[in-house]
Structure 1
Amino acid sequence: MPFSLNPNQPIKLRCIEKWFETEDCVSILLSAEGEQAFQFKPGQFVTLGVKVEDKTEYRAYSISSLAGEAFLQLTIKRVVDGKVSNFIVDKLSVGDYVECLAPAGEFNCIDHPPVEIEQQKKVLLVSAGCGITPVYAMAKAWLNENAAVDIAFLHIAKSAQQTIYFDKLELLAKQHTQFNLKLLLKNAESSGYPQGRLSADWLKSLVPDVNQRTVYLCGPNQFMLDTADYLKQLDFDMNQFHQESFTPAEAPEPVEQSSSDNESVSIEVPSFGKTLQANKGALLADALEQGGVPLIVACRSGICGSCKCKVNVGQVETSSSSPLTEEEIAQGYVLACSSTLTGDLSVEL
């Protein structure tokens, strides 16, 4: 897959297939010219650029296909006020093109492999909603490699009909003895699965040996907070706990300025030949966008890393640097979406 090493330089991919997983959720297959294989770590995401109302909007989506295949599979669910997600569900068609940035993300089973306990590698994959996507990719990767990993797959959903990948999950459970499917449904009807709301008791009941497993968690923010709390109640070793979320982090609080003392700062962007003016306390990303600098800002939550830039002169106050390496931080790289202006700057994109 010819992804650029520069995460700010997207390539074009074509939608070659699209289908509904549930009534409000679709999967799409994206292919590059020449059908070259995509390489990534199971659990990672890509940032898509989709043209909506004549403007390219960027959003991050987890990959649900296997590495080495000639396509990327992404699964996107309708969300309230989701400009890009809802456009993909309703209007993206086979044959349409999107932009795509290089795969990224610390939440993956390569950088964070399962720990061997008592000569066994055992994992618990926990998800809700579209959070199923990255953990489903991890499970498929282990099964495809015939890895000696015992997989407990716990997904929380409203019903069997609203469970993403329901048929595929049941098929994996039939085909692989090491894949143990655990669904907990709000409305189980006649599905044969238990009905209830996840709690520490349910977690222990559904996965009795949870404390002997490495846990990978993805889903809505409150769901993940609750699940982490349930694990702590069970005296789980949180060193063996990994999670992912695209829920926006708290944005930095703007610096309050009085109307008579609205201090301005200067931002030099030499590579674009621009010098911008912005209010002290504004977000660097907002200032660059308003100044016409072509910056990609996808998640706006300090997670995806698409807005990474280097501060050559000056300083900013930052609220998130999670996608950046220690070396990058030492070199002056910051995330524009999580950086508040405190003085004059010179930045490099």
Structure 2
Amino acid sequence: MAWSDSEIIQLTCTKKWFETPDSVSFELSSDSEHDSFDFKAGQFSSLGFDIEGKKAFRAYSISSVPGEQRLKFTVKRVPNGLVSNHIVDSLSVGNKVDAQAPVGQFNSVDCVPKQKVLMLSAGCGVTPIMSMVDQWLVQEANIDIEFFHLAKSKQDAIYFDKLVELNRSVDHFNLNMLLEDNAGTTFPQGLISLDWINKLVADFRERTVYLCGPTGFMEAVKSALEEAQFDMSQFYQESFTPTQVNTDVGEGVVKVAVPDFGVELEADEGSLLIDALEKGGVPVIAACRSGICGSCKCKVKVGQVESTSFETLSDEDRANGYVLACSSTIKSDVEVTLN
């Protein structure tokens, strides 16, 4: 199945199970038994759930492989997370879920691998990494895979049994499961150092590196590779951590108008555009809130905003005034359209 970037289709939850005490996997399928899903391994989809009478979207990496008749996702509970808690506690088989077309530049097609790769993940960051590995194995690509995964404990390690089985049964797959609670194992603040990478994968400079996980973990890995003078053209990373947006609120008050929806309201100068649009009840989708999924794309027809992310926006989009509302702060009175 292929659908356009702006199209939302409705899928059905056909299976759900726990991976760890605070994370679940679930599968979504279309009503047609013959539909399969076309995407690039490693990409994500923005999913919409009905929660307390409102539709809430969030972006989640797809953990299945392209060409199958279902999309698989794995979601970890986030403290006070509206959608993650709904998925873990309330999503049931038979529930309908809205889905946007898969997107994302972190994937095994656009990020071309060498014949040797190093996959580094922590927590729920394992999901797109696992999709890439599974795709290479399905394709019998014969890529030499060194796989690092960091978790607090065996109980908290997503896909633990699967990773151990791959390590046992696939000659060109080597697993380093780094558990913080292991006796004698020390990871300062749960991070991986250059010494650890050198110790466990001495030939890492000959590999393409793929990285996904929490911000601190990713920053530590990237710094370690730069310290080692790694060829960063062979380094790819993904993160749904919100972009650093300067939201120092000024003394002024600005007006935000969205004529298509009859909305006009006041907002603090320097506040996020997405917050103003949501306050006004404008049906904008803010799935990742990280400036990477592009679902909150809108056009500033009048006025000025300051943006920190242009992910998924073409040069033509930017020239025509399109911005990502989740990573844009309001600098003056603005008029916005979603078209």
TM-score, normalising length from structure 1? Answer: 0.89
1:28 lines up with 2:26 in the alignment: yes
Q: Provide the residue aligned with 2:4 in structure 1.
A: 4
SS of the residue corresponding to residue 33 of structure 1 reads coil
Q: Distance in 1 between matches of 2:155 and 2:247?
A: 42
Q: Provide the residue aligned with 1:269 in structure 2.
A: 259
Q: Distance in 1 between matches of 2:253 and 2:129?
A: 47
Counterparts in 2 of 1:239 and 1:95: CA distance versus 1, 3 Å: same
Q: Provide the residue aligned with 2:287 in structure 1.
A: 298
1:134 lines up with 2:128 in the alignment: yes
Q: Provide the residue aligned with 2:14 in structure 1.
A: 16
1:125 lines up with 2:94 in the alignment: no
Counterparts in 2 of 1:83 and 1:112: CA distance versus 1, 3 Å: same
Q: Render the CA deviation track for 1:50-100: whole Å, top value 9, x for unaligned.
A: 122222211111100010111000001112112211111111111111111
Q: Distance in 1 between matches of 2:51 and 2:263?
A: 29
Q: Provide the residue aligned with 1:246 in structure 2.
A: 240
1:311 lines up with 2:326 in the alignment: no
Q: Provide the residue aligned with 1:343 in structure 2.
A: 332
SS of the residue corresponding to residue 164 of structure 2 reads helix
Matches within 5 A, 1:181-196: 181-188=175-182, 195-196=185-186
Q: Provide the residue aligned with 2:60 in structure 1.
A: 61
Q: Provide the residue aligned with 1:233 in structure 2.
A: 227
The unaligned stretches of length 5 or more in structure 1 are 116-120
Q: Distance in 1 between matches of 2:204 and 2:126?
A: 19
Q: Provide the residue aligned with 1:278 in structure 2.
A: 266
SS of the residue corresponding to residue 297 of structure 1 reads coil
Q: Distance in 2 between matches of 1:307 and 1:266?
A: 16
Aligned partner of 1:163 among 134, 154, 157:
157
Aligned partner of 1:321 among 305, 310, 317:
310
Counterparts in 2 of 1:303 and 1:76: CA distance versus 1, 3 Å: same
SS of the residue corresponding to residue 137 of structure 2 reads helix
Matches within 5 A, 1:44-83: 44-83=43-82
TM-score, normalising length from structure 2? Answer: 0.92
Q: Decide whether the 8 Å contact of 1:42 with 1:141 is kept in 2.
A: yes
Q: Distance in 2 between matches of 1:239 and 1:139?
A: 20
Report the more deviating stretch, 281-290 or 176-185: 281-290
Q: Decide whether the 8 Å contact of 2:243 with 2:327 is kept in 1.
A: no
The amino acid that maps onto 1:244 is E
Q: Distance in 2 between matches of 1:201 and 1:2?
A: 44
Q: Give structure 1 regions of 4+ aligned residues with deviation exceeding 6 angstroms.
A: none
The unaligned stretches of length 5 or more in structure 2 are none
Q: Provide the residue aligned with 2:217 in structure 1.
A: 223
Q: Distance in 1 between matches of 2:152 and 2:270?
A: 42
Q: Distance in 1 between matches of 2:306 and 2:156?
A: 42
Q: Decide whether the 8 Å contact of 2:2 with 2:38 is kept in 1.
A: no
CA shift for structure 1 position 148: 3.5
Q: Decide whether the 8 Å contact of 2:29 with 2:69 is kept in 1.
A: yes
Q: Decide whether the 8 Å contact of 1:185 with 1:196 is kept in 2.
A: no
CA shift for structure 1 position 275: 4.9
Q: Distance in 2 between matches of 1:134 and 1:303?
A: 15
Q: Decide whether the 8 Å contact of 1:252 with 1:339 is kept in 2.
A: no
The amino acid that maps onto 1:112 is C
| Count of aligned positions | 332
Q: Distance in 1 between matches of 2:212 and 2:51?
A: 27
The amino acid that maps onto 1:277 is L
Q: Render the CA deviation track for 1:18-69: whole Å, top value 9, x for unaligned.
A: 1111121110001112041111111111111112222221111110001011
Q: Distance in 1 between matches of 2:241 and 2:60?
A: 12
Q: Distance in 1 between matches of 2:130 and 2:215?
A: 19
Q: Decide whether the 8 Å contact of 1:62 with 1:74 is kept in 2.
A: yes
Give the RMSD, CA atoms, in angstroms: 1.9
Q: Provide the residue aligned with 2:205 in structure 1.
A: 211
Q: Distance in 2 between matches of 1:156 and 1:125?
A: 11
Q: Distance in 2 between matches of 1:268 and 1:165?
A: 45
Aligned partner of 1:147 among 126, 141, 144:
141
